[in-house]
Structure 1
């Protein structure tokens, strides 16, 4: 099920906090570029990367369960085959949506998220969609 433009815009305008799973500390990586864009757009960005303590001057968490605050969108920068445990964690922490970045496709994880009541966006760049809608 694809979200229409109105639903995407509503998700992006109603969300405030985005956990970026797989956020790289390297400025040249897409995850870092997207996170910087989201910060500039006014979102609260929470880096999630088990190999880092801080990214973009922000505390970095090893997994979603370690994030101490509520998360609206879980933005996933991981290989498609690694998505299911992340979606399971997103469900456990009560996230509103999971967003699988461009090139990330996992139908089983998407169905699991939808069954739990989460909004799912798959194989789309959050930065590109936001820039086009908001």
Structure 2
């Protein structure tokens, strides 16, 4: 589990690509604003949303494991109701096995769950709990 602000800052500094589970095409949704925010700061944001084909010029995938393995994912940002977070962590574990990559799981405010944290620990996945990625970026880089 990543708790330390220095680790969060290093995660954001090293990251280039963020897979955003629950990214919405609706400009009034926070996930949409966060995707644009991250893109404007140089990150590639890959939407994971089975309801749309594309968001902000990036192809949207039905699920994380559908993203081609030649794409390096540094952060899996979970923007869904907490009842789905454990499934997102399971998908990240599958992604890790499928690709050999070990992305950081980032849960937005009130998105973490005890089950998700447990799965992350069992599968040796770095896990950021209930932190807004935009707030943390501003705190570390503004």
TM-score, normalising length: structure 2: 0.89
Superposition pairs of residues 29-44 of structure 1, within 5 angstroms: 29-44=29-44
Structure 1 runs of 4+ off > 6 angstroms?
none
Q: Secondary structure at the match of 1:47?
A: strand
RMSD: 1.2
Q: Distance in 2 between matches of 1:117 and 1:15?
A: 18
Residue correspondences, number:
134
Cα deviation, 1:32-62, whole Å, max 9, x if unaligned, reads 0111010011111100001111111211000
Q: Distance in 2 between matches of 1:102 and 1:125?
A: 6
Q: Secondary structure at the match of 1:108?
A: helix
Query: Does structure 1 residue 13 correspond to structure 2 residue 18?
Result: no
Q: Distance in 2 between matches of 1:48 and 1:54?
A: 9
Gaps of 5+ in 2: 97-101
Structure 1 residue 115: deviation in Å?
2.5
Given that 2:46 and 2:59 are in contact with CA atoms closer than 8 Å, whether structure 1 keeps it comes out as yes
Q: Distance in 2 between matches of 1:75 and 1:96?
A: 10
Superposition pairs of residues 80-119 of structure 1, within 5 angstroms: 80-94=82-96, 95-119=102-126
Given that 2:27 and 2:33 are in contact with CA atoms closer than 8 Å, whether structure 1 keeps it comes out as yes
Gaps of 5+ in 1: none
Q: Distance in 1 between matches of 2:46 and 2:59?
A: 7
Q: Distance in 2 between matches of 1:92 and 1:71?
A: 13
Structure 1 residue 28: deviation in Å?
1.3
Given that 1:70 and 1:93 are in contact with CA atoms closer than 8 Å, whether structure 2 keeps it comes out as no
Superposition pairs of residues 6-85 of structure 1, within 5 angstroms: 6-68=6-68, 69-85=71-87
Q: Distance in 2 between matches of 1:61 and 1:38?
A: 18
